[in-house]
Amino acid sequence: MPSCKETAQLFSDSLDRELPWLQKAVLKMHLSMCQQCKAYTQQLLQLRETFQHLGHHSQEDTPPLPESTRRKILDAVKAEKGSL
């Protein structure tokens, strides 16, 4: 049986591509026995769904940032970049 870390990687892989049947079975078995991994995968699915939903909104639906906020963000990025 794979470790939780290996299971997380398998699950991530399953979001990107079709897993071979054996890997699917191993993943399903681990998730049926490990509540932490099951909760983790459910959270990832919820995040994925949320980001997909957000991606469907066009930029026209989003009000522009106030200039003061844009400036603060740019200043913070420049400060962070300068500290590297």
What one-character-per-residue DSSP string does 26-69 give?
HHHHHHHH-HHHHHHHHHHHHHHHHHHHHHTS-GGGSPPPPHHH
In the predicted model, is pLDDT for residue 84 greater than 60?
no
Instruction: Give the pLDDT score at 56.
Output: 67
User: By residue range, what is the domain housing residue 2?
Assistant: 1-59
Q: Is residue 71 part of a domain?
A: no
Q: Are 15 and 44 in contact (CB under 8 A)?
A: yes
Q: Is residue 2 part of a domain?
A: yes
Burial class, 7, CB count within 10 angstroms (exposed 0-12 / middle 13-18 / buried 19+): buried
Q: Is residue 75 part of a domain?
A: no
Q: Is residue 34 part of a domain?
A: yes
Q: Are 39 and 45 in contact (CB under 8 A)?
A: no
pLDDT in tens, 16-52: 999 999 999 999 999 999 999 999 999 999 998 888 8
Q: Is residue 20 part of a domain?
A: yes
**Angle at CA 20, nearest 5°, toward 15 and 25?**
85
